[in-house]
Chains A and B, each alone.
Chain A
């Protein structure tokens, strides 16, 4: 987390939405009244971040603000408020470890240790090759399958040290490991097997 906006992130000269994104934006704006365009700031920031390799330079924030006709500072506020927006360059694959209480009780410290070891970086850092970005995250809302790792768009659940290592090493090799519980259980069914509905329905 940065303390000042400038001097940390590299200067990016300009930003403009791609044709493809402009098409999407037309659809997004249609959801809001004409004089409430500012309501579209979150989806537009997501699009901008996606287009700009996972982070938002000031040029992109300014572009979104001017595009929606809202004060630039308000877009800075939104972009810095939400953890999902990065205002500094980060690795392409974003590895986020949930360390909130339920995950922590279920061993997120071990998950974090595995991440550090495999990726060779500390929390808040990107790997030198720019592939991975490791960070802690507040509750990901998947407590039933704690501890949880969030990589790009996928959740990896029911982790321990070894399973985390396996997932990350697969990612490192360029494979796409199967998301979801890594313990073999289905969804968030009870971890030690069924405790109810033990009889077959006739």
Chain B
């Protein structure tokens, strides 16, 4: 623990700290461009110069280890002179195009120029101009503005694990480029836009659309996957202009996936903004009053066991409380929140949570992935696994389809028979598993959303108990969800009740004429063609897959348009907030359900969001503890049964098009066409 003096104050810092970190700890702000706490040190911008006594020259503090007895000055005339000099050099080739630059108003170079910049230029020669590079549909480039901090290169190489950017040529001619003028292949590439300290890398969809000071910023939660990334929704008027990450060390650190960042244009297209009723085979616009009249006509007299509720991937917890209450009052046992058909029983919380927690991955020393492709199912969980691998001493084995996860993975099998061999201690990987101090197992949707899912869960349970995945303060058993709604649905018990049918049963019931009405709450990823025999109510946001087959459409609010709770895969409840209002006649979903219950004469007496949340806390007390993970108690789950031979397959065939919002997004479609097609070609072996 070295002790040093910074601007006259003595401070003790942890061993291994740099002078820069020590200064930050002492509350001194050091200007910088290339330094970033989550990336390796480059030390090439020279902006963080400080004066250290007995050192003949100013020192780049980001790259200098703090040592015992150092006397550092961060505010001396020498330091100011040095910083001014560095900044003048950086500005030599930087264009004066701030008025048309997207970074304007949130630019590090602009801010620091205010403090250290010269008032005029002494440089009379021509400025350097650099050709813009093509990096795909997400990242726009203005390379003349680049100051070569190399943050983008380091992010893609270190955090994303997709080394596709580099510095080509040299000296005066150095250019940041991918050299091949093709789209980048990372699903985290949007983060380089945030990392760029100048306006060299911009968001292509947001380019020239708005100025930062015009935007209303709303802190919210993402629903594109089950990670629950913390986001900031920037809106102008009633339009979402962009989405940025918010810092949450335990969830997304300061990154978000490209789907989270760029799918927002899907909120504008194909929206359901008015209730619709099917008349003479066609959906026609109707008022809410007419819609509820139709609802009462078809539902009012129908016995509860002849109707069913299916919940989609993006549904908020408040709406699910209402569904539960309404179904109970209607006497309807056929409720299912598992639209992917996962064989999760839901009796025991530990069964369906990511018990290790995302931050907990950093403590693990062995990981067995079963039927999962975390890179597409939860890119930030994958980023955390990669972060753990980079620390060293982490072995990852996989049962399932091979896929490049950006870190080395040992493929030990593709189907349940390998999992069974591991559970019975007959596989060679068992030795490593048993030796590991903190082993973890990640069961993906591809392993449980199948006919023998319950048996797979039983095997995973056996492995967990047999190989010490459960220890003091450690639970290495994890289920990885892909849907933001799933954990809340399971916590709130939106599962088939006494004599109730699951999704497969409901579909069969419809075909057999035993179920006459199905209420789909944002459920689009089911076989909608099999619902032809029933009266279908679709409550949701987009005219995607289910709305066209519905007989009654109730327009709901998307995740940016309501105050609501989502529970991430760790079981962490978080509040999303309203950033813009729902379009047209669309309403918040819990309110629609509340109004429907009254129209049906079975009023659910929850009149405002506080009452809904109070009821939610009664049903599942852990959901009231916002932003905290309540550890789940261990117990028995899964059911022994016959295993099939079919290999595990991840349900996500296309990372960019997994939900109605993403499917409506032009940007996501473009990504799918441009970024994924070459990847798929690679998988078939025609590449390289």
* Main secondary structure on B side of the interface with A: loop
Distance between Cα atoms of A1 and B606 in the complex (Å): 71
Determine if B175 is an interface residue (Cβ-Cβ < 8 Å).
yes
Determine if B403 is an interface residue (Cβ-Cβ < 8 Å).
no
Measured between beta carbons, the chain B residues less than 8 angstroms from A81 are 168-170
Is A5's CB under 8 angstroms from B170's CB?
A: no
Least CB distance from A7 to B in Å reads 8
Question: Which residues in window 55-107 of A have CB below 8 A to B?
Answer: 58, 62, 66, 71-74, 76-77, 80-81
Is B166's CB under 8 angstroms from A73's CB?
A: yes
Determine if B411 is an interface residue (Cβ-Cβ < 8 Å).
no
Partner of A5, one of B130, B164, B168: B168
Determine if A195 is an interface residue (Cβ-Cβ < 8 Å).
no
Measured between beta carbons, the chain A residues less than 8 angstroms from B157 are 71
* Main secondary structure on A side of the interface with B: helix
Is A3's CB under 8 angstroms from B131's CB?
A: yes
Determine if A196 is an interface residue (Cβ-Cβ < 8 Å).
no
Distance between Cα atoms of A185 and B52 in the complex (Å): 54
Is A5's CB under 8 angstroms from B177's CB?
A: yes
Determine if A6 is an interface residue (Cβ-Cβ < 8 Å).
yes
Question: Which residues in window 1-33 of A have CB below 8 A to B?
Answer: 1, 3-7
Determine if B622 is an interface residue (Cβ-Cβ < 8 Å).
no
Is B169's CB under 8 angstroms from A80's CB?
A: yes
Measured between beta carbons, the chain A residues less than 8 angstroms from B133 are 4
Q: Mark B123-148, 1 if CB is under 8 A from A, else 0.
A: 00000001101000000000000000
Is B168's CB under 8 angstroms from A76's CB?
A: yes
Distance between Cα atoms of A34 and B303 in the complex (Å): 72
Least CB distance from A87 to B in Å reads 9
Distance between Cα atoms of A76 and B157 in the complex (Å): 15
Least CB distance from B682 to A in Å reads 12
Distance between Cα atoms of A153 and B346 in the complex (Å): 75
Measured between beta carbons, the chain A residues less than 8 angstroms from B177 are 4-5, 76
Is B169's CB under 8 angstroms from A1's CB?
A: yes
Q: Given A66-B688, A81-B170, check contact A4 B181 (CB 8 Å).
A: yes
Is B164's CB under 8 angstroms from A73's CB?
A: yes
Is B165's CB under 8 angstroms from A73's CB?
A: yes
Is B163's CB under 8 angstroms from A74's CB?
A: yes
Range class of the A interface residue count: 10 to 19
Partner of A80, one of B168, B180, B181: B168
Measured between beta carbons, the chain A residues less than 8 angstroms from B93 are none
A-B interface contact total, Cβ < 8 Å: 49
Is B130's CB under 8 angstroms from A3's CB?
A: yes
Least CB distance from B307 to A in Å reads 56
For A4, A72, A76, A81, which residue has the most chain B Cβ atoms within 10 angstroms? A4
Nearest CB in chain B to that of A6: its residue = B181
Q: Given A1-B173, A3-B131, check contact A76 B179 (CB 8 Å).
A: yes
Least CB distance from B146 to A in Å reads 13
Measured between beta carbons, the chain B residues less than 8 angstroms from A71 are 157, 163-164
Question: Which residues in window 160-198 of B have CB below 8 A to A?
Answer: 163-170, 173, 175, 177-181
Nearest CB in chain B to that of A83: its residue = B170
Is B131's CB under 8 angstroms from A73's CB?
A: no
Is B169's CB under 8 angstroms from A73's CB?
A: no
Least CB distance from B141 to A in Å reads 11
Distance between Cα atoms of A81 and B171 in the complex (Å): 9
Least CB distance from B366 to A in Å reads 22
Measured between beta carbons, the chain A residues less than 8 angstroms from B130 are 3
Is B131's CB under 8 angstroms from A4's CB?
A: yes
Least CB distance from B406 to A in Å reads 12
Q: Given A76-B168, A77-B168, check contact A6 B163 (CB 8 Å).
A: no
Nearest CB in chain B to that of A66: its residue = B688
Nearest CB in chain A to that of B130: its residue = A3
Least CB distance from A47 to B in Å reads 20
Distance between Cα atoms of A7 and B134 in the complex (Å): 12
Measured between beta carbons, the chain A residues less than 8 angstroms from B180 are 5-6, 58, 72, 76
Measured between beta carbons, the chain A residues less than 8 angstroms from B167 are 77
Least CB distance from B178 to A in Å reads 7
Q: Mark B671-688, 1 if CB is under 8 A from A, else 0.
A: 000000000000000001
For A3, A72, A76, A81, which residue has the most chain B Cβ atoms within 10 angstroms? A3
Measured between beta carbons, the chain B residues less than 8 angstroms from A1 are 169, 173
Least CB distance from A195 to B in Å reads 39
Q: Given A1-B173, A3-B175, A4-B131, check contact A77 B181 (CB 8 Å).
A: no
Measured between beta carbons, the chain A residues less than 8 angstroms from B164 are 71, 73
Is B166's CB under 8 angstroms from A74's CB?
A: yes
Distance between Cα atoms of A77 and B133 in the complex (Å): 15
For B130, B163, B168, B178, which residue has the most chain A Cβ atoms within 10 angstroms? B168
Least CB distance from A9 to B in Å reads 11
Distance between Cα atoms of A71 and B178 in the complex (Å): 11
Nearest CB in chain B to that of A4: its residue = B131
The 19 sampled A-B contact pairs (Cβ below 8 Å) are A1-B173, A4-B177, A4-B181, A5-B177, A5-B179, A6-B179, A6-B181, A58-B180, A71-B157, A73-B164, A73-B166, A73-B178, A74-B166, A76-B177, A77-B168, A80-B169, A80-B170, A80-B179, A81-B169
Which positions in A face B, CB cutoff 8 Å?
1, 3-7, 58, 62, 66, 71-74, 76-77, 80-81
Q: 6 tightest A-B contacts by CB? A: A73-B166, A5-B179, A71-B163, A80-B168, A76-B179, A3-B131
Q: What 20 new A-B contacts, CB under 8 Å, besides A4-B131, A76-B179? A: A1-B169, A3-B175, A4-B177, A5-B180, A6-B179, A58-B180, A62-B688, A66-B688, A71-B163, A72-B180, A73-B164, A73-B165, A73-B166, A74-B163, A76-B166, A77-B166, A77-B167, A80-B168, A80-B179, A81-B169
